[in-house]
A = this chain, B = another copy of it.
Amino acid sequence: MESYQLHPSSYIVLGLVERMGQATPYELKARADAGIGFFWSFSRAILYKEPVRLEKLGLLNASQEQTGRRKITYSITKEGLKALSDWLHEPVDGATEIRDLGLLKLFFAASGSQAALDQLIAGKIAAHAERLKTYQDIKQSVELEGDIIYRLAALEMGLRFEELSVAFWTDMAERKIKVPT
C-alpha cells in the first residue's frame, strides 16, 4: 500500500463520519459546530476537501446523488475504521496548545496601557462567562439524552476550562494590576 499522511483534520472527518454512519459535508459541518468545533476549530472548506482525499485513499466511500444538488454522501470503509482505530491506539504526542489572543495580549500587556488591559480583562470575563453558559446549556440538554459519554467528557473539559478562565480573569481584575510606566 502506498504511504499517506493523515492529519488531525483527517481524523476529525473520519471520526465524525464513523459516528454519524453516513454524512454529507454540510451535515459534518453542523455536527462539528455543535461539538468538536468548540475546542478545535477549522474552516468549512476542509469538510469538502478532505473527504475527497480520504475517498481516494480508500478510507471513505462516496456516493453521489444523480439528480438535484448531486450532493455526495460519505461513509467509512473498513480501511478507514482501521486508520481511525490505529490513530486512537497511538500514544499522544505534543503539548496542549492554548491559542488565546487575550492571553497573548496579557503576555505583552506591559507594552500597552492600563486602560487597554482593563478592557481586555473585562472583555475576557464576559466572553468566557458567555461560553460557560453555552456549555452548561449543552450539558443539560445532552444529559437528558444519555449515552454519548465521550463527547460529554470533552465538553466537560471545555466547561471546566471556561470556569477556570472566568476565575483567572476575575482574579486579574481584582488584583487591579498596574502597568509599570
Contact = CB atoms under 8 A, between A and B. Distances in A.
Interface in A101-150: 101-113, 115-116, 119-120, 123-124, 127-128, 131, 147, 149-150
B95 A112 contact: no
Nearest to A105: B88
A154 interface: yes
A181 interface: no
A120 to B, nearest CB: 6
A64 interface: no
Given A98-B98, A110-B150, A103 B39 contact: yes
Interface of A: 8, 11-12, 15, 18-19, 35-36, 38-41, 81, 84-85, 87-89, 91-113, 115-116, 119-120, 123-124, 127-128, 131, 147, 149-151, 153-154, 156-158, 160-161, 164-165, 168, 172, 177, 180
A12 B104 contact: yes
B172 A153 contact: yes
Contacts of A93: 101
B131 A119 contact: no
Q: Helix, strand, loop or mixed for chain A's interface?
A: helix
Given A116-B88, A150-B106, A153-B172, A165 B124 contact: no
A70 to B, nearest CB: 29
A39 B111 contact: no
Given A8-B104, A89-B112, A104-B11, A95 B131 contact: yes
